Amino acid sequence: MADYYLQIDRINVRYGDIQVLWDVSFEAQKGEIIALVGSNGAGKSTSVKAAAGLVPTFGGHIRIDGQDLTGGTCRRFIDHGIILCPEGRQLFPQMTVYENLEMGACSKESAARKKETVEKIFTWFPKLKERQKQLAGTLSGGEQQMVAFSRGLMGLPKVLMMDEPSLGLAPNIVDDIFHIARQISREDGLTVVLVEQDVRKALKLANRGYVLENGVINIKGTAEELLNNEEVKKAYLGI
């Protein structure tokens, strides 16, 4: 446990009087891709929001590279390279693709390296280069997801949390995005936390996975173990 780069260690979250996460733990090595799966309302988005410092937790700890960020401001999480690509993309529709990307360079270091990061992103997604002046609200769903993912990369993440990137997209676009996420994790040691409804797809990309049910992690294992787990097969893979 002590060796993991990212450690979410028994966190709890409540909204008002209602507790929605119960001692949730997940962890990842540097450069590892983990998947967080589960049904609607299980607490997946809450888990990644909490891990990114966007909702308060009680009990438990959130650590990155040995540093305890528990209770810190979201600014502190960003400065430590923990970045969330939120569910539903949350782009600025009246701003151009380029301006949306710029918004992602929100730490001091990423702001200083903004131009070089944009150039890198344009080599991965040539389409965004072509459309850099187009208003984000007029892009197709797939293009918008490329912008949302790229905006996350603009912050020079060490840990990138992606909340349901595949929602409503054609499989080939999702494959493109996953392929690039895999490449960056291999080459630059980016750690990825992927929240997905498409459990099969998520476990094909991820090294390991966690199944969240009613705010509790009930099953965890390597991607292969989960793909062969009878409970997972029945509940999430339709086998």
Closest approach of Mg ion to the CB of residue 49, in Å: 9
What binding mask, one character per residue, do residues 191-230 give for Mg ion by CB under 5 A, x or -?
A: ----------------------------------------
Rounded to an integer, what distance in angstroms lies between the CA atom of residue 180 and that of residue 194?
Answer: 13
Closest approach of ligand ATP to the CB of residue 218, in Å: 13
What lies within 8 Å, CB to CB, of 196 at 6+ separation is 35, 36, 37, 164, 165, 166, 202
**Does 45 participate in binding Mg ion (rule CB under 5 A)?**
yes
Rounded to an integer, what distance in angstroms lies between the CA atom of residue 235 and that of residue 128?
Answer: 37
Rounded to an integer, what distance in angstroms lies between the CA atom of residue 74 and that of residue 56?
Answer: 10
> Which CB, 44 or 208, lies closer to Mg ion?
44
Q: Which residues bind ligand ATP (CB under 6 A)?
A: 15, 20, 38, 40-46, 87
Can you read off the two tokens belonging to residue 133?
């002046």
- How many residues touch Mg ion under the rule CB under 5 A: the total is 3
> Which CB, 45 or 166, lies closer to ligand ATP?
45
Closest approach of Mg ion to the CB of residue 134, in Å: 28
Q: Is 119 in contact with 157 (CB distance < 8 Å)?
A: no
Q: For residue 2, give the 3-state DSSP assignment.
A: coil
Q: Which does 66 bind (CB under 5 to 8 A by kind): ligand ATP, Mg ion, none?
A: none
